Amino acid sequence: MGAQRLVQGQRAELLQALCYGGSAEGLESVIDLLLAWEVLLSEDHQSLRTPSQPLYSSARALLDLACIQGESTCASLLAALNQVLPETQRAGLCFGDCRVPPQGTGPVPTSAAQALRRDRPLLVRKLRGGVAAALKALLASGSFTVYDCDEVQLLLYTPSQQARRLLDLVQSKGESTAEVLLQHIQQTESNPTSPVNEEIPTECLLYQKKLRSSLSAQSHFLSTYGGTGSLSLDDIYTEVLLEVAKGSSEAQQQPLGLEDILGLVGTMNEEADLVLVSGEAGSGKSTLLQRLHLLWARGAALHDFLFLFPFSCRRLNSEERELSLKDLLFLHCCWPDQDQDLLFQYILDHPHKVIFTFDGMDEFRLGFSDEQRHCSPNLPAPVSILLFNLLQGSLMKGVRKVATSRPEAITPSLRGYLRKEVLLKGFSAGGIDCFVRRHHSNPCVAARVLDTLRINSALFGLCHIPVFCWIVSQCSRELLGCSSRGPRTITDVYLMVLQHFLQHHSPPEQRSPGSGWWQGNVGTAMRLGQLALGGLDSPCYVFSVVDLQRCMVTEEDLRAGFLIQTKDLSSPDGKHYEFLHVTMQCFFAALYIVFNNDIDRSTIPNLFCPPHRKGSVLSRSCLGPCLPTHCHLEGISEGADRLNLQITATFVSGLLSQRHRHLLHQVCPAPALDSKCRQVVKALSWGMRRHFRSIPRPVRGEKKSMHAMPEFVWLIKCIYEMQDSDIAKGAVARLEVEHLKLTYCSIGPVECTALAYVLQHLRGRVGLQLDYNSVGDVGVEQLLPCLDICHALYLRNNNISDEGIRKLIEKGIQCENFQKIALFNNNLTDACTQYFAHLLKKRHNFLSLRLGNNYITAVGAEQLADGLRSNKSLQFLGLWGNKVRDRGAEALAEALKGSPRLTWLSLVDNGIGNSGARALAELIESSKTLEELWLSKNCITREGVEYLLCALEKNTSVQSIWLRGNKLSPEEVEEVSRRESRLTF
């Protein structure tokens, strides 16, 4: 197919690739190449780079121009795209036979201006880190004016765009200016060490010292979960699991550390500045950011950055003044003692030495919008406009920004400006152990708490989330003194912390045993609950004294400790307060809904399925004039609001459980509780039916499957909180699917506990797909109760280790229905293969074992072979991306010779050479069932291929052997392909 037809036929796909991530870098790099190859003229270039023209319009204009100019221009365009686009974006595109013009074949440049044009792509790469130095040389030679320098260094340009603007301006000024620039570049290359480190002004160093001192003081003690001031961050901080989000250009090979958040690993868009750290409520996002602040303040990390400015989105919510960028930095972070203008100018001139952090983007009350541009650092604007333009790069381009948020609250438009996303996965099993031991100075108490957690697997799963682990550690006395049943649900844990705070607040002589602690504190809970629900409905997370007075919150209520005074919130209105944690605010809102006998009947239905919002979801039904008036704002972001209302609904479900009726009866009459419980059950049942109705009819010959959305997981969690097996049975009674897909649904151990509780009541067997979540070893243990109904379990990319596999296999051996497992991209080593060998020996109906991209070597392959010799049922074996090498391949081939059902075997990218190929050829000769053998990306040469060719002469059942990426020359590939069509390269 001709190049012009390829461009026209793939127009939509090419547009998407050119504008990927909202960055113009791909488009401009293609234009650079077309200019260098003299495919585009200067006039064409000018028409394509209109500053006010949207990115997609420029990309469309380029495609139109190529098609107008004909076949040769389209061929060059495809060649440029093939060179510029990364592999992930080239996938699915066809470039035909379009090749990059060989270097040096064109005419030799006769002038400096021609050299700038021919070498443009290379010069952009050379200049983007040294535009300031080049401008200084041009200014000194008289070729440039100060106005020219300002035009090149506009803050909205990326370093690459500044380099391109510099080249364009130089070419427009003629040959002498081009010669000055080329001479400067040559001097820089011949003496790269000549530029000495720029001297930092004394005023900047003094301000850095003050900023470090301020941040160190703010970050020294744990500020989240109440920030009592008694827990040093050094003593309590425990590493959480960090993972690069899907879509990055490289796979994560090892755990990420704190400094990797700002490192190169996982970068998706090099031209963007914003790094997003996302995690569920309570996963430790604020604490992680606080730790980063403390390490920078001490000079222990982030040494390349001179200044770090921290922002709280809760605090920014309360800022009603219009501010300039300078005001925002100095008023909200650290006030300079002197020379504000000099400091601010230094920050503007050196953005690469500055970090901004934004904690709690999901709590910012206005949704992200990139419609209102604001590029001036000196002109005042509403805080929301400043924030959005900082995040997307119109303001302070080059400053590295780190923001934390719950993932669901980040809009697609904001995701387009991400440099990368890092997922915060909570604690590992070892992290839980470490945190508890750090929290308790008495080793005996720590050991008893950990023993209690290990006995109560559901509670241990909850502790995977740092805020729950803190609650359990904080309430160790109540935990160790509770009944054998112990806390199992999130609601149980929060009732335990409620008891802890209220009892510790009361004088010792007034502390009642049993459930008596609750009777004297109902008023406190109701007043705080009214305040909490009003805040969630608005949304509002910081409350003034007036708000507290409106809900009649007393000094005695404040002393209970659930509300804490907000630190560093300068406001003419006086003191401000917030709940210990947003989940605590949700819990008190749930208490108010359940305990308020006068609440409107529509409140609970609206909570579980809110109507289209007109100002607020619940205010019409239950709060009315009690809401904080300053929180009623137009343009409210509904993302975080919806998430918090879901958390509240989860607590309402838990409070209405029969487990807690002894508490509720002290406040609410039984008929009212029964009515509310029926409302919750009805709402959950309706929500589940809605999901089931969305299941499409299966394609003929395929299994009936359902791809569950995150809301489905939330409904499952609500059902688990109620701890009623009849409700769980009823919820899945109508679910008739053979495959349940829950990929990318933020499934952690807490969700695994709830899923197992509900799914074990399914009537039929199901394949459960949990790929790309955060299951881990703790979550695997929580899934075991539902393994009986799983005929297949898919756990790709879930940070599972050998210990998790040990527990899984112990249970799996007992489950006759369990026949398939997939564990690509985990942390499995040779230690796990003994468990799989045991499974294969014991279970003679097991069909599929896929262990790709782990850390299994020849030792593990030999252990696995021991189980394969005894197994007669296995059909699919996948070990792609391990390192079994020849020895392992020989052991596997020998063990599989007797397999009567093996149809598919993958040993891609395992370092297998000719010796292994010979052993696999013998397997091919003996097998009557094998259809596909995957051996791509190994070390097989022509000799090894000959073994395979001889084996294929004796075997007609094999349909294909994949050999792409081995050690064969193009001529050898062409020859053997002619001899045997079943060899696929």
Mean pLDDT, the chain, integer = 84
Give the up-direction half-sphere exposure of residue 416: CA atoms within 13 A in the CB hemisphere. Answer: 16
Look at residue 610 in the predicted model and tell me its pLDDT: 63
Sheet arrangement for strand 848-850: 705-707, 739-741, 766-769, 790-794, 820-822, 848-850, 876-878, 904-906, 932-934, 960-962, 983-984
Q: pLDDT at residue 573 above 70? A: no
Rounded average pLDDT over 942-961 = 93
Q: What is the DSSP string of 559-573?
A: HTSSEEEPTT---TT
CA distance 396 to 349: 10
Look at residue 591 in the predicted model and tell me its pLDDT: 93
Question: Which range among 451-460, 604-613, 673-682 shows the weakest confidence by mean pLDDT?
Answer: 604-613
- In a domain? residue 228: yes
CB of 656 closer than 8 Å to CB of 594: yes
The C-alpha angle 373, 312, 282, rounded to 5 degrees, equals 120
| Residue of 949, 947, 940 whose CA lies nearest to 975 | 949
Q: pLDDT at residue 482 above 70? A: no
308 pLDDT band, cuts 50/70/90, is very high
122 pLDDT band, cuts 50/70/90, is confident
392-427 residues labelled b (16+ CB within 10 A) or e (exposed): bbbbbbbbbbbbbbbbbbbeeebbbbbbbbbbbbbb
Continuous H helices in 512-669:
522-537, 545-550, 555-559, 582-595, 603-608, 638-655, 661-664
633 pLDDT band, cuts 50/70/90, is very low
* Ramachandran angles phi, psi of 561, nearest 5°: 100, 0
524-567, pLDDT tens digit by residue? 999 999 999 988 877 788 888 899 999 999 998 888 888 888 76
Q: pLDDT at residue 457 above 90? A: no
Handedness of CA 797, 799, 803, 804 (dihedral sign): negative
- In a domain? residue 703: no
| Residue of 621, 614, 622, 610 whose CA lies nearest to 649 | 610
Domain CATH code at residue 841: 3.80.10.10
Q: pLDDT at residue 156 above 50? A: yes
Q: pLDDT at residue 853 above 80? A: yes
User: Could you give the number of structural domains in the chain?
Assistant: 5
Q: pLDDT at residue 460 above 90? A: no
User: Are 503 and 534 in the same domain?
Assistant: no
Rounded average pLDDT over 874-888 = 96
Listed in sequence order, the residues at least 6 apart from 106 whose beta carbon sits closer than 8 Å to its beta carbon are 37, 38, 118
User: Are 662 and 603 in the same domain?
Assistant: yes
- In a domain? residue 477: yes
Domain boundary among 641, 668, 695: 668
Rounded average pLDDT over 786-790 = 94
CA distance 307 to 205: 10
804 pLDDT band, cuts 50/70/90, is very high
Domain boundary among 518, 546, 561: 518
Q: pLDDT at residue 612 above 60? A: no
- In a domain? residue 96: yes
Q: pLDDT at residue 829 above 80? A: yes
Look at residue 946 in the predicted model and tell me its pLDDT: 94
Domain boundary among 614, 643, 668: 668
User: Are 396 and 443 in the same domain?
Assistant: no
CB of 758 closer than 8 Å to CB of 731: yes
- 10 Å Cβ neighbour count for 175? 12
User: Are 363 and 251 in the same domain?
Assistant: yes
| Residue of 449, 421, 418 whose CA lies nearest to 435 | 449
Question: Which range among 158-162, 340-344, 522-526, 638-642 shows the weakest confidence by mean pLDDT?
Answer: 638-642
- Bridge partners of residue 984, in order along the sequence: 962
- In a domain? residue 587: yes
User: Are 583 and 561 in the same domain?
Assistant: yes
Look at residue 983 in the predicted model and tell me its pLDDT: 93
Listed in sequence order, the residues at least 6 apart from 750 whose beta carbon sits closer than 8 Å to its beta carbon are 461, 462, 464, 465, 490, 717
480-496 residues labelled b (16+ CB within 10 A) or e (exposed): eebeeebbbbbbbbbbb
Residue ranges making up the domain that contains 659: 521-668
| Residue of 724, 597, 596 whose CA lies nearest to 653 | 724
User: Are 400 and 513 in the same domain?
Assistant: no
C-alpha torsion angle, residues 768, 774, 777, 782 (rounded to 10): -50
Rounded average pLDDT over 60-78 = 87
Look at residue 614 in the predicted model and tell me its pLDDT: 41
User: Are 236 and 331 in the same domain?
Assistant: yes
Continuous H helices in 656-709:
661-664, 670-693
509-528, pLDDT tens digit by residue? 555 555 566 767 888 999 99
CA distance 913 to 493: 56
- In a domain? residue 718: no
User: Are 286 and 346 in the same domain?
Assistant: yes
Peptide bond into 539 cis (omega under 30): yes
Look at residue 476 in the predicted model and tell me its pLDDT: 81
How far, CA to CA in Å, does 214 sit from each of 41, 285, 337? 55, 21, 13
Look at residue 961 in the predicted model and tell me its pLDDT: 95
User: Are 173 and 224 in the same domain?
Assistant: no
Parallel, antiparallel or unpaired: strands 418-424 and 242-244: antiparallel
Domain CATH code at residue 355: 3.40.50.300
User: Are 164 and 140 in the same domain?
Assistant: yes
Retrieve residue 761's tokens: 């009541």
- In a domain? residue 453: yes
Pick from 26-40, 303-317, 894-908 the range whose average pLDDT is largest: 894-908
Listed in sequence order, the residues at least 6 apart from 974 whose beta carbon sits closer than 8 Å to its beta carbon are none
User: Are 243 and 388 in the same domain?
Assistant: yes
Look at residue 142 in the predicted model and tell me its pLDDT: 86
Per the listing, tokens 């059950």 go with: 681
CA distance 481 to 40: 79
838 pLDDT band, cuts 50/70/90, is very high
Question: Which range among 241-255, 526-540, 594-608 shows the weakest confidence by mean pLDDT?
Answer: 241-255
Look at residue 503 in the predicted model and tell me its pLDDT: 78
249 pLDDT band, cuts 50/70/90, is very low
Q: pLDDT at residue 227 above 60? A: no
Rounded average pLDDT over 375-392 = 86
Better pLDDT: 215 or 566:
215
CA distance 412 to 847: 40
User: Are 574 and 510 in the same domain?
Assistant: no
Per the listing, tokens 């419980």 go with: 677
- In a domain? residue 950: yes
CA distance 833 to 868: 11
